[in-house]
Amino acid sequence: MNKAEEPVFEALELSNLVGDCISKLDGEAKEANISLSFSGERCSVFGSKENLEEVVFNLVENSIKYNEEGGHIWVKVYTSDGPTISIKDDGKGTPYADPIITSVRDIVELHQAKLITDNGIGGGSEFKVVF
């Protein structure tokens, strides 16, 4: 990675960042007839806005892709175990080998955070990014 590609880290209000992403993805979810809900506690993290937006977009778009018509996606930002983004769905599950998950994991590790997955193939998925 050269200097031009290095992410710029700054203080970010995580709930606002995730909420803005969800607003942009709402139309895509509605088009797929999937309910997308968001709730967020205020919390700050130090990170790359562009990279963290990419994480949220990729995980929510995957939840839309692997969901079914009439499905649900719940996105939360909370602080009980440190600042956390949770993206949970009731779809058919996301394959672990999906290249998007590898990309997300790389970005999460760059932020010295953890990606925790609970992937019930046939029973939905939950992805947590814990800072």
Question: What's the number of domains the chain is made of?
Answer: 1
Domain presence at residue 2: no
**Which residue range is the domain that position 120 belongs to?**
10-130
pLDDT digits (tens, 9 = 90+) for 27-58: 999 999 999 999 999 999 999 999 999 999 99
Whole-number pLDDT of residue 91: 87
pTM of the entire predicted model? 0.91
Domain presence at residue 39: yes
- Distances 65 to 32, 92, 117 between C-alpha atoms, Å: 9, 10, 17
Domain presence at residue 117: yes
pLDDT digits (tens, 9 = 90+) for 52-84: 999 999 999 999 998 999 999 999 999 998 999
Domain presence at residue 4: no
**Number of residues in the chain:** 131
Query: Which token pair is 81?
Result: 């175990």
Domain presence at residue 5: no
User: For position 112, which CATH number holds?
Assistant: 3.30.565.10
Domain presence at residue 3: no
Domain presence at residue 50: yes
Whole-number pLDDT of residue 1: 47
How many CA atoms lie within 13 Å of 55's alpha carbon, on the beta-carbon side? 29
